[in-house]
Structure 1
Amino acid sequence: MSPRAAAASPANVSDVRRRNVSEALRSVIRAGRTTRATLAAECGVSVASATNLVGDLIAEGLIVEAGVASSRGGRPVTFLQPNPAGAYFVGADVGERGVAVELFDLQMNRVDREFRGGRTEEQIETIGDDLDAALEALQTRHPEAWTRLVGIGLALPGIVETDADGRQILYAQSLGWPPVDVADLVSQPLRIFAENGAKTQAMAELWDGAARGLSEALVVLLGRGVGLGIISDGELAHGLTSSAGEWGHLKIERGGRLCRCGGRGCVEAYLGADAILSAWREAGGRPDGSGWRAIGELLDADRAGDAVAVAVVDEIVATLGSALGGLVNLTNPERVVIGGWVGLRLMETLQHRIEAATRAEALRRPGGQFDLRPSAFGGDTVALGAALMPLEALIADPRASSPRS
């Protein structure tokens, strides 16, 4: 049982049953394959009660029986697993140069993916069109999934707040956009959930990735922008109105480089993709473009001993170590996870150097208590985390959220 569920005080028998059904579904999905006896133990109910809960979930089409195994001196054990076709979820990684929209089944396997955009820079006016086009393409290829679609989660490049009326508003200061009503981004009649992309990356890592089972962790996103998900007491921190984790705009040099947010000396102004490649150009490098390949060229040149590239990479490692070391002192994590496309490229060859630099910049005690790992899901992490939002809605109330209801 999750701490949040345990903290709730059900008002009546119906609430107790709803909570137990929710916890049973969560357990089956997280386990992938389990038994009624295991469910009973995890949910704190009798085997008979677990059998009733399983019956409800089978009737909803959300789980299925999946094979039998013999047991010592007793009845055969029947295994349970999520029904892949029982529900579907869409997760969209809304980036600065396009949108990656992914369809997942109830086992959280990616069924399909559609990308739209690819412009030099995405504009707020075009995001809605790109999302709609990608959704239409996925629906055309998977019409049956659409009849069981719970909703769409949007991972967005900015702060996402929910107002008193339940509306979600995107504030993307770094991109120069006005406040955007998230509901206006999707024209299809879908249930919409939204959150900052760094937070959805952290959701994915906490759910079944490099932060699973941890109480205290940091999940860093390094891309064109820089973000952070803070996991504290096993939960993702949001702050007063959801902006907790805006580490990319923490000032690390007073009056330093100009950042896209309008401030100077922000982490992003030194460790975002454009900042890294600009520093290389200013030092005499000639990167090809501004994406994955260009960052790879810098790292290749560093490994080859190119003096300019070596100096630039040394500075990146030192700056990242300093910025992470401060976070380690501030939050005392058990693990630091680095993701995002720039972060993944850096971790391919620089993981040990980054870890050493971080320890050197942190206090000895907290600096010796964490480990450093790359994101478990690679480039799909942000979209997967976004898809977990409609999944969580289904888990919270399987009957009300079930596509079959």
Structure 2
Amino acid sequence: MTTIHHDPLAGTKYGRLIVNGRSDPRPGQVMPEASTVTSLRQRNRSLLLKQIILRQETTRAELAHLTGLSAASAANIVAELIDEGLVEERGNRSSQGGRPITVVGPRADRAITIGIDVGERGVAAEVFDLSMTRVDREFRGGQIEESPDLIAADIRAAIDALRDRNGDRWGDLIGIGLGLPGIVETDLVGTQTLYAQSLGWPALDVVDLCSAVDVPVFAENGAKLQARVEHWFGNARDCDHALVAMLGRGVGLGIITAGEVATGSRSAAGEWGHTTLMLDGEPCRCGNRGCVEAYLGADAIVHRWRDTGAQPSGSGWTALTSLIEAADAGDPAAADLTAHVIDELGAALGSLVNLFNPERVLIGGWVGGRLIEAYRDELEAAIVAHALPRPGSQFTLHPTHFAGDAVAAGAGLLPLEALIVSGWSTAG
């Protein structure tokens, strides 16, 4: 297996290429900043290709305007991308009194990526084309909490099933992205390790989760990937400062600041679910007490409802839906609990609004999506109430666009970003 990803330690927008868990040059050698080893032309090419994929359909003149390049430079780079088969012309737009303007877009059939949403109970693997349209999907697991070995087996089985159904396109696969439930740390020589303390897993080399494949493999925390895909194509698009919360069984956060998803020094930024909401509060799966996740994770919410004497059928989505329906029907215990949950979520997000001063706050994950669907106005009021008046007046609240597909779609972006930055081209 070949693993390639971009080193968040590099300190530049474009990162550093890591191959098979090792950076180039070899450990111990001094590596110049990416800006000195990446040609200006390659960076301009990356800017244009990203804009073409983001816009889906655009013109050479629009690309020159968006990137600040000259019209001639933009036209020359677009011609190169067309020659490589990554971009295609898609007819013309009418112009005001002049010649028709040629429209360009990504050549969707030129490459595919796989994005895999890895959870504690199984995986959802999705195939995307170059325009980030989903081509196929495969689920494995989903019933019980699984060990890392079983998760790795699920990943292999899902990839095998996708390969069997998409054999005619498999040669166009440029990489696999993994969205993982925990901290995905990249060390100084490029080795990636997953720390999923809340799941009780030992530290895992990412390579061990996705072995025996002959394409590059990339990994990142699932909440960061949700933020990434929302920033590219979703409700945080064209927004330089946003918070993208993910609430499911776990609780996570992606922070978009100055147009980039924040990583921190070792990619642990955004572990909001394990910040303290209540001193000496409820025990959390991470081993601490009073964490946001211990109150706002799915299991915590359902457990609190059962403590009132309620007996919801099922668990997870079914139980949460039953809680909201009971509150809407006037059940006092359910109404009181949902009010507490909204206020607690408002307090947790209000603190983040004070810290990061976002333009937008997005709430996603299957728990978050259900809450914002039912209580959007109440949530916004709670966030404002727990924030300072000025930053509390400067954000808008939104659901995420991608809902249940967010992590897989964000993971599918990882190989695509490498293609954009590093100038890979697919075979054929």
- Report the TM-score, using the length of structure 2 for normalisation: 0.90
Match of 1:178 in 2: 202
Match of 1:212 in 2: 237
1:129 to 153, 157, 162: 153
Match of 1:270 in 2: 295
Match of 2:193 in 1: 169
Tell me whether 1:279 sits opposite 2:298 in the alignment: no
In structure 2, the CA distance between the partners of 1:215 and 1:72, relative to structure 1 (3 Å rule), is closer
1:393 to 391, 394, 418: 418
Q: How far does residue 294 in structure 1 lie from its aligned partner after superposition?
A: 1.4
2:387 to 358, 362, 370: 362
SS in 1 for 2:336: helix
Letter paired with 2:146: E
Letter paired with 2:221: N
In structure 2, the CA distance between the partners of 1:173 and 1:112, relative to structure 1 (3 Å rule), is same
2:314 to 289, 299, 313: 289
Q: How far does residue 404 in structure 1 lie from its aligned partner after superposition?
A: 2.3
Q: 2: CA distance between counterparts of 1:40 and 1:53?
A: 10
Q: 2: CA distance between counterparts of 1:122 and 1:270?
A: 23
Q: 2: CA distance between counterparts of 1:167 and 1:143?
A: 31
Number of residues of Structure 1 aligned to a counterpart in Structure 2: 398
Q: How far does residue 168 in structure 1 lie from its aligned partner after superposition?
A: 0.6
Q: How far does residue 245 in structure 1 lie from its aligned partner after superposition?
A: 0.7
Letter paired with 2:44: N
1:138 to 152, 155, 162: 162
In structure 2, the CA distance between the partners of 1:127 and 1:364, relative to structure 1 (3 Å rule), is same
Match of 2:326 in 1: 301
Match of 1:156 in 2: 180
1:33 to 40, 54, 57: 57
Match of 1:109 in 2: 133
Q: 2: CA distance between counterparts of 1:10 and 1:278?
A: 51
Match of 1:335 in 2: 360
Letter paired with 1:90: I
1:328–1:367 Cα contact (<8 Å) kept? yes
Q: 1: CA distance between counterparts of 2:421 and 2:34?
A: 15
**After the TM superposition, which of the residue ranges 98-107 and 60-69 deviates more from structure 2?**
60-69
Q: How far does residue 379 in structure 1 lie from its aligned partner after superposition?
A: 0.8
Letter paired with 1:265: G
What is the percentage of aligned positions where both structures have the same residue?
55
In structure 2, the CA distance between the partners of 1:46 and 1:232, relative to structure 1 (3 Å rule), is closer
Letter paired with 2:294: A
Letter paired with 1:334: E
Tell me whether 1:66 sits opposite 2:90 in the alignment: yes
1:60–1:404 Cα contact (<8 Å) kept? no
Q: 1: CA distance between counterparts of 2:314 and 2:54?
A: 41
Match of 1:92 in 2: 116
Q: Deviations over 1:157-213 (max 9, x none)?
A: 000001122111000000111110001111212211111111101101111111112
In structure 2, the CA distance between the partners of 1:119 and 1:45, relative to structure 1 (3 Å rule), is same
Q: 1: CA distance between counterparts of 2:401 and 2:393?
A: 22
Q: How far does residue 11 in structure 1 lie from its aligned partner after superposition?
A: 5.0
Match of 1:403 in 2: 426
Q: 1: CA distance between counterparts of 2:35 and 2:157?
A: 43
Q: 2: CA distance between counterparts of 1:319 and 1:40?
A: 46
Q: 2: CA distance between counterparts of 1:314 and 1:69?
A: 52
Can you give the 5+ residue segments of structure 1 that lack an aligned partner in the other structure? none
**After the TM superposition, which of the residue ranges 269-278 and 58-67 deviates more from structure 2?**
58-67
Q: CA RMSD in A?
A: 1.7
Q: How far does residue 18 in structure 1 lie from its aligned partner after superposition?
A: 1.3
